[in-house]
Amino acid sequence: MNSFPDRLLTGYKRFMDSSYDVERDRYRVLAETGQKPETLIIACCDSRAAPETIFNSRPGELFVVRNVANLVPPYAPDGEFHSTSAALEFAVQSLRVRDIVVMGHGRCGGIAAALEIDAEPLSPGDFIGRWMSLLAPVAEQMHSNTVLTQGERQTALERISIRNSISNLRTFPCVSILEERKKLRIHGAWFDISSGELWLMDSKTGDFKRPDR
């Protein structure tokens, strides 16, 4: 049997001696009463862009769904397996979150893959290729834009994909109905890994702006 990674065990010991010790009572309450986060964050599984770290959140404050390139597929009740849709359904219908944040980030590998033309699949299943095909229409538009540099195309698609995911969010009846009743709010955000800057999407214009600190 392979040994458990030492780095993780060391990290766990530090967690128990610091974070858990500080939040011990909070963890016990959460264990007894259950979770009731008010915010769902749909983020990328990139190891550099963890929402709990970026927003300095406490245990039980955020319900986080992470996938490649923080995508939300359209509503598709087809009997297949839908991990992101299942988590969304649970957060909205069971946890009754009040806010949903779709958070992208700079230098996203999934977005870079979407911009590659005729890229070779990583495996015969081509799961990433199939997943990123959700962005195929807008990615093709980026390819045809010869004015933008490759880096500019990357950043543009990272932000366009956030707006695209928000549009897909609204195809879910449980989301659109609650938003119309003003019981649910939807937000877009983009995190710059290199600078630590957080850009928020204007709900009216779709533009991304840095908030006042």
Domains and CATH numbers, the chain: 1-34 (no CATH), 35-209 (3.40.1050.10)
Closest CA to 59 of 79, 36, 42: 36
Please say whether the beta carbons of 6 and 68 come within 8 A: no
User: What tokens does 139 get?
Assistant: 């990615």
This prediction has a pTM of 0.95
What pLDDT tens digit does each residue of the chain (213 aa) get? 579 999 999 999 999 999 999 999 999 999 999 999 999 999 999 999 999 999 999 999 999 999 999 999 999 999 999 999 999 999 999 999 999 999 999 999 999 999 988 889 999 999 999 999 999 988 988 888 888 999 999 999 999 999 999 999 999 999 999 999 999 999 999 999 999 999 999 999 999 999 976
